[in-house]
Structure 1
Amino acid sequence: MNLSRPDLEADGWAFALELYARPGVADACLKLQNEASVDVMMLLMVAFAAVRHRILLTSAELRELDEACRPWREQIVWPLRAIRSELKIGPLPAPNNETEQFRSKVKAVELAAEQLQNQLLAERLPLRPPERNAVGPEELRSVLCNVASLFLERRGGKPVADPLSSINEIVDAATRDAR
């Protein structure tokens, strides 16, 4: 594979933004994030490796990626997200027009933190020759379920809702052009 790490980072970020913007994907990602504690940035990077580079990451590789970005996610991304979410309802003086502008700034910083996480993931993404001609929906579904399982294990395996419907939505959107 003749792709530099900066190219991989840029391509991974572009892929994540493009996929996230497709109908139904944002809602599916947020459901996985909110109900199963799935790291959406990691999920999108794993989908990128599969769809664009035809590499299905192993469980061990998924755990390595998770361990690489876990401190950043837990110490930076999640606290920013919590602040942004809290500003929707309070404390005083929130919510009002001024705090909504502030919330928008926090949202931009949260997105920048996710972009830095994308960089971290791209730096650690295993680079190897493609494993197959194309990754089909079933293979993509399997690797994304492995990502969700990694996070569900931390929750004691008790999702609030079944993550498979959300994963199916993402798989359908990611493989739509390949069909």
Structure 2
Amino acid sequence: MSELDLDGPLWRFALEFYALPSVAEACLTLQDEAQVDVIQLLAAIYAVLILEQPLSAEDVAELGRQTTEWRAATVLPLREIRRVLKPPRDGFPEERRRLREKVKAAELLAEQIQLAMAEQWLDGRVAKLGPPAPEVFALFLKDDTAGQPRNERAISTAVSALGIAMDVIIRNRSNAEPLDGQ
């Protein structure tokens, strides 16, 4: 396997998309309420918007297989440590804050690596005709939370916010000047 491009087009897209209004909150809601792997979801959105090659159900499953081990071994444990360090506790608040910031930076790097893995997989896949974006979202929202309650209203609101953000990207691309100035 070749070296990963940590600052590749998918990473730059993810930063741009995540910075749009309501996207960060929507992604965190889907992560917490529906156990969505936001990195995989961003890769799927990138495939729709930038590559214009929506992922099929088989593609989503394969993307999961390509990144699940990394996510389970790095992203999720770092996220858990960061969350444990968040609430204020007695003793050592400055040290706890500094450690939390370092863990947060490591978690972000782990997510950046996962995005680069996803991009490498996207670059090597044979594109097939996939479903429209709303159906791609549904592939990530399977209810496999093992009886844990889900806030369906929050999930629906988050999906709507992502749809609006995707429309913003589409409008911005259609209003952009062609690269050659014509």
Q: 2:39 aligns with which of 38, 41, 47?
A: 41
**Residue identity in the other structure for 1:115:** Q
Q: Distance in 2 between matches of 1:121 and 1:178?
A: 22
What per-residue deviation string (whole Å, max 9, x for no partner) do you get for residues 36-79 of structure 1? Answer: 11100110010001000111111111001111111111121000
Query: Which of residues 3, 26, 29 in structure 2 aligns to 1:28?
Result: 26
CA-CA distance at 1:90 after TM superposition: 6.0
RMSD: 2.6
CA distance 1:7–1:131, change in 2 (3 Å): farther
User: Which ranges of structure 2 fall in alignment gaps of 5 or more residues?
Assistant: 172-182
Matched letter for residue 83 of structure 1? I
> How far did 1:102 drift?
1.3
Kindly indicate whether the alpha-carbon contact (under 8 Å) linking 1:53 and 1:130 is maintained by their aligned counterparts in 2.
no
Q: Comparing 85-94 with 42-51, which one deviates more in the overlay?
A: 85-94
Letter in 1 for 2:156: L
Q: How far apart, CA to CA, are the structure 2 residues paired with 1:54 and 1:70?
A: 24
Distance in 2 (alpha carbons) for counterparts of 1:91 and 1:75? 27
2:101 alignment counterpart:
104
Unaligned runs of 5+ in 1: 133-137
Confirm or deny that 1:169 pairs with 2:156.
no
Residue 135 (structure 1) aligns with = none
After superposition, the Cα gap between the structure-2 partners of 1:146 and 1:157, relative to the gap in structure 1 and judged at 3 Å, is farther
Please list every run of at least 4 consecutive aligned residues from structure 1 whose deviation after the TM superposition is greater than 3 angstroms. Answer: 5-9, 90-94, 126-132, 156-159
> Where does residue 113 of structure 1 map in the other structure?
110
Provide the TM-score with structure 2 as the length reference. 0.80
CA contact (8 A) 1:145 1:164 kept: no
* CA positional deviation for 1:93: 3.8
Match of 2:174 in 1: none
TM, length-normalised to structure 1: 0.82
Change (3 A) 1:97 1:72: same
Secondary structure of 1:48 counterpart: helix
1:84 to 69, 82, 85: 82
Shift in CA distance, 80/8, structure 1 to aligned 2, threshold 3 Å: closer
